[in-house]
Amino acid sequence: MPAGRAVVPGDPFSPSELSRIDWAIRNAETLSGLAFSVYVGASEADPRRYAIRLHAALDDPAGSVLVMCDPAFRALEVISGSRAKRTLDDIECGLAVASMQSSFVAGDLVGGLVLGIQQLGEAARSPRTLHSTAT
Amino acid sequence: MLVPLETLVGWPVAPDPPLTHVLGLLVGLPLLVALIITLLGKASSLAKAGRGSSSTSTGTPSSAGGATDPVWLGSAPESKELTEGTTTQAETGGASARW
């Protein structure tokens, strides 16, 4: 599978839904400087373990955040790499997961993903340095 | 007529419209408008049903990724084959949920 904004043929999303998710990813990446990936599909019996394996297969796992959603098993996982979790802690991930979960329960898969990715990007936003080097 | 109307002095008496016209205006036209609005509201779901993915964003998420190929958005791994990487649970952060 090529790297980049790849979409496997036969995906369940309409082009407008894909563009909404893609926009959220790009926005989150711009805000945070981290790489965001979204995987929607089947996982394994242990979704967390599977998500970690998916995350480890990314180009830059340390600076990446993976959102894995398995609609069949109703499993949602957010994995942040070792560098990413310095700015995106587990509490913030948990809040984003809760937001996504609420939308998923309501049946809005795309809206939940967009909301969650935006929230993760905002939470991982690098703080602007206000110090001046000039004395 | 529903409202008794008065013809002004010097004006010709207006003929009563036929019953079919009255029924068409008071019943037929609202039904037609309601039908059009309903169809417009259901157009997106009908279009998705035609494509075979009726519940991606509207209802049961279980069919969104269950039987179809997985979808990757953002940066995706080079290879489809997943191996046990060197990343451990302790090195990664994040959160989990079920719904």
The verdict on residue A18 lying in a domain is: no
Q: How many CB pairs under 8 A join A and B?
A: 201
Q: What does the alpha-carbon distance between residue B66 and residue A40 come to, in Å, rounded to a whole number?
A: 9
In a domain, A41, yes or no: yes
Chain B residues with CB-CB distance to A72 below 8 A: 62, 65-66
Is A23 contained in some domain? no
The tally of CA atoms less than 13 A away on the side-chain side of residue B70 is: 20
Inspect the interface and report whether the beta carbons of B82 and A54 lie closer than 8 Å: yes
Asked, for residue A135, whether it belongs to a domain, the answer is: no
pLDDT digits (tens, 9 = 90+) for A74-115: 999 999 999 998 999 999 999 999 999 999 999 899 999 999
Number of domains in chain A: 1
ipTM > 0.85 for the complex: no
Residue A31 lies in a domain: no
Does A17 map to a domain? no
Average of pLDDT values for B70-93?
74
pTM for the structure as a whole = 0.64
Range(s) of the domain holding residue A88: 36-122
In this prediction, residues A27-45 reach a mean pLDDT of: 92
User: Residue A70: which CATH number?
Assistant: 3.10.310.50
Query: Tens digits of per-residue pLDDT, B32-49?
Result: 999 999 999 988 777 766
- List, as one string, the DSSP characters of B42-68: HHHHHHHHHHT-TTSSSS-THHHHSSS
Say yes or no to pLDDT of B80 above 70. Answer: no
The runs of H, that is alpha helices, within chain A are 15-32, 47-56, 84-87, 90-105, 109-123
Q: Which residues of A touch B52 (CB under 8 A)?
A: none
Average pLDDT for chain A: 86
A11 part of a folded domain: no
Q: What is residue B43's predicted lDDT score, i.e. its pLDDT?
A: 87
Token readout for B26 is 């008071």
Residue A125 neighbours by CB distance under 10 Å: 16
